[in-house]
Structure 1
């Protein structure tokens, strides 16, 4: 059975999204038609086009949710009831306003729209309703998503120029290896001279025929797809995520990004009155790294048994500064505030590392390209020198 995602609208104008399993696209469409809804979009999961669409949607979703909570905060400050606020925010709350009109709570209505709202958001809204601080919750969520959006944009901008430079350089090198070098090495073969080791290595690479190159590309594509589908498995994916976390540059950056979101969300949940073990469990759902998510879930289990927060964070992935903040927060009774400081610390450290990567990426790429170009030039110049010495 294949998995499909779909977007629908009914005769009253309500919109929604969902998932369904079917043998093919036609069977999925036939099943959905039984619910008397109009299907706006239906696509199979785990395809390349779907992955690209979801990647773009994920980037847009952070901005949309930040705007949603900011507008909700302003409307609540103006004294509007929450039902009227949701009625005005129709783009994000198409299915919520009707449930509110039926007497359901905002958190309960949001829980029915799981495709739009995460568990930690719903937990915060529920805490805000319980404590009468819904306006404050909207403000914190808006700030959190705005900060996340700035972080994502900073990362994308820092990687854009090195990526373009790398692609152009690779195209140029492949053109030299497969089209220019074979002509030069044909001349060397006709002269029947002994080639030095760099020239022999480069000749072997350039002698790869077009059929072999196509076959190699196909093998790499198969390996890539196999790796991707293996990564989708929870056990294999957690193992790969753990490996990536231990890498010196990218791993540390990913750790700081997830820690910043986890600590910030946890701070909001604790300030909203959620008990600590439940707050940790809800905050863990926002982690993109599955290995870290497992660590945070185990942390929630330890806290549920009555352990202190500081004694429960035994894993070495927690920076020493975060552990000290947790200890100070538990001693002073200001754990939520200290976790908020920890979130800011991780975010600033991540942004600092992004700037370092941006500064170092270009010279490192130039060095690699220079070494590669030098190797190619040396492979050509050394045989030419041998020819000149033998001629004279």
Structure 2
């Protein structure tokens, strides 16, 4: 028999109970403190222990375990991923933590607008009956609906309200809510504590804006609606109808109004043959990304080369009774040939001892 571990008032528990009610699977519920050492690793709540060696610590995976997806699989899984990666963490941070970041409000409103539009003229998110998508998203939003202050602030959205109230009358949902009580005022704090979401710094504080507080971060690029439509259209085409790939001719220079991608991998040292760990752990992964970018027709430059300075090179030269230049020439040739054998798609494989590099 499956055992659900959870902390009190955690709305993610509703997901598991509703899915369990749908499948009529026998389940026991154990309410614990978030730091209880009896919780199976990695000690996130809620989680499901089915057997001694089987623990499901992602609630949405456990939902699909209890109630396997049989129809509209792709759409259902898309919604489950959206809820787990976007909606649930946002609510936990905004309504369940002490971090007061105005950007969270705007983000949540964006998510709710997306859901509101998706529920237009619909009873359920997908198809003519409720699915796991309805189960997980409804469970996550239910405390927002119960909390009068939060409902007035965020849920002035008729389609979502109508959908929440309808799902609340479904026997499997109704039974779960009656069995596991939810307090709208503290539920998201319980969600945050159970899921152990990493804390996000308050970007409005002096620490968050200080130039000395850490390394500069790249601005997150926002994907536009046009880009999403374009990507979806391209994904739906047969390979023969895709745009022709750019030819790789000569130097790769930045092009205005194009997506310019610069890729490099760790420079191998030339006091010996290439290290397999460097090839597998760094060069191949960078090569895969470079090939992906070229398939997307991005203006892509992939560079690497050999590091030819340092006492280790001098020591190796003394061992082999060669000059530093000769030892570098010898191992550069070996490195270059091996990368060619692996068919690594460098646009240029250079040397740190080149005059251009020195300049």
Same fold by TM-score greater than 0.5 = no
Give the structure with the larger helix fraction.
1
